[in-house]
Amino acid sequence: MKFLTKINRNFFILFGAMLLVISIADYFILDAMFLENAREGMLRNAMIIKHQIENTKELPLFDPLTKVTVIQKPSGKLKSSIKEIDLYNTHEQEMEPYAEYNREVYVNGVYYNIQLRQKMLEKDDLILSIGTTLFLLLLITFSVSFFVNRKMNKTIWKGFENNLHEIEGFNLARKTPIHLEATNIDEFDRLNEIIYGLTKKIQTDYSSLKEFTENASHELQTPLSIVLFNLEELLQQPLNEEDFKKVVTSINALKKLSHLNQSLLLLAKIENNQFAATEDIDLLEIIERKLKEFEPLIHAKKIAVEWKEKTSCYWQINPYLAEILISNLLSNALNHNTPKGSISIRITKHELAICNTGVKSPLNDETIFNRFVKGDSKSHGLGLAIVKQICETHNATIHYEQGENHCFKLTLPIE
């Protein structure tokens, strides 16, 4: 939800609640005011009637809503009262509200009660009037707010929106600093300063980390290669069985460490976008080539390879990364397969699915692409993490499905 939309929503909720409270209060206030105005008007009329009685020997004729009757002497002071009553209107055939005013007077030695009635505004009409006013006020407020917000979006928020687009396009791999537009609003300009400082620090830390990772991996690879070379030469020497096993174990561990180091270095390079050069690569050609490379392992494990669908699939990707992605997916299908198992491949214009037999229990699809998540102790747990990183870098998606077999489905971006 946009900032202005949220502010406006809260404003209209609060404004509507306030108008509702005010409308209820208005109803009772207006009702009391109408009754008071009626009382004052009927009081004046009562005084006029009193003077008429004083000046005439007989009671004059009055309209149907006025009634003057002779009463006995009140026990206390002369009283006056006003109340609301409902009278039946024979013409409209409905009850209508009236104000009834009674006032006791003493004229020429006789006590009278002057009763006057005045038609009042019906409650339904009063509620309708207040409701109509409320609706019009809300409509006017909404209209004014809408046009004011449009104007604000074009002026006040323009710089903020431009800065958002600049931040969205910010790339750590580029060494150029972020450029934010001045907004002439203190809070936004202060936010720009903070963002500029943070991005500058992030770029510095990123460059340092990138340099450290590359240097550490390269520096580590050299001594590993030397140790491996020396151990392999040592195998050529006459060794007893125990020493031979120790050397072989050390070589295997160092090879695994070397492979892990190369994988971590590859991940760092992918994240740093160091494989920017891309070509239109046909994944079908790579799969067919990799299957030939894996033929010895496929025959050794007696695995059946089946093509469900076979169509050329072109992807704008770095050739080296495309080779690694297909190699890792096929290696995963082979290494985690069962003897005499099967691999099925389906490749269409925009999708690749590689499925393999294996353990019956499904894998954890939330962690399977995380680093160092191992299917067995022989794996270093980075193969699928590299696949995931390559896909994210090239706007593709990879996900795992568990049906009869374990399936990894790659969906390419539609251009």
Q: Are residues 270 and 285 in the same domain?
A: no
Q: Are residues 285 and 384 in the same domain?
A: yes
* Average pLDDT score over the chain: 83
Q: Are residues 24 and 135 in the same domain?
A: yes
Q: Are residues 293 and 379 in the same domain?
A: yes
Q: What is the mean pLDDT of residues 337-342?
A: 89
Query: In terms of Cα–Cα distance, which of 178, 359, 174, 352 is closest to 272?
Result: 174
Q: Is the pLDDT of residue 145 over 60?
A: yes
CA 122 to centroid of chain Cα atoms: 49
Q: Is the pLDDT of residue 141 over 90?
A: no
Q: Are residues 29 and 139 in the same domain?
A: yes
- What is the torsional sign of CA 220, 222, 227, 229? positive
Q: Is the pLDDT of residue 173 over 80?
A: no
Q: Are residues 14 and 139 in the same domain?
A: yes
Among 246, 274, 302, where does a domain finish?
Answer: 274
Q: What global pTM score does this model have?
A: 0.50
Residue 156 lies in a domain: no
Q: Token match 């980075």: residue?
A: 382
In contact, 148 and 134? CB cutoff 8 Å: no
Residue 64 lies in a domain: yes
Distance in angstroms (rounded) separating the CA atoms of residues 399 and 410: 7
Domain limits at 392?
279-411
Residue 93 lies in a domain: yes
> Where does the pLDDT of residue 378 fall: very low under 50, low under 70, confident under 90, or very high at 90 and above?
low
Query: In terms of Cα–Cα distance, which of 117, 115, 113, 114 is closest to 74?
Result: 113
Kindly give the pairing relationship between strand 304-310 and strand 342-347. Answer: parallel
Residue 227 lies in a domain: yes
Q: What is the pLDDT of residue 329?
A: 92
Distance in angstroms (rounded) separating the CA atoms of residues 294 and 145: 68
Q: What is the pLDDT of residue 174?
A: 67
Q: What is the pLDDT of residue 326?
A: 92
Q: Are residues 12 and 142 in the same domain?
A: yes
Q: What is the mean pLDDT of residues 11-36?
A: 82
Q: Are residues 285 and 304 in the same domain?
A: yes
Residue 205: which CATH number? 1.10.287
Residue 353 lies in a domain: yes
Note the helical H segments in 236-345.
Answer: 241-271, 283-293, 295-300, 319-335
Residue 153 lies in a domain: no
Q: What tokens appear for 282 in the block?
A: 């046909």
Q: What is the mean pLDDT of residues 392-410?
A: 87
pLDDT tens digits, one per residue of 83-103 = 888 888 877 788 888 889 999
Between 289 and 262, where is the model more confident?
289
Q: Are residues 197 and 287 in the same domain?
A: no
> Where does the pLDDT of residue 1 fall: very low under 50, low under 70, confident under 90, or very high at 90 and above?
low
Q: Is the pLDDT of residue 347 over 90?
A: yes
First to last CA, the chain: 29
Distance in angstroms (rounded) separating the CA atoms of residues 25 and 376: 75
Q: What is the pLDDT of residue 379?
A: 57
Between 381 and 232, where is the model more confident?
232
Q: Which helix (H) or strand (E) holds 347?
A: strand 342-347
Q: What is the pLDDT of residue 87?
A: 84
Residue 158 lies in a domain: no
In contact, 203 and 172? CB cutoff 8 Å: yes
DSSP state of 76: S
Residue 116 lies in a domain: yes
Between 267 and 117, where is the model more confident?
117
Between 241 and 410, where is the model more confident?
410
> Where does the pLDDT of residue 30 fall: very low under 50, low under 70, confident under 90, or very high at 90 and above?
confident
- Number of folded domains in the chain? 3
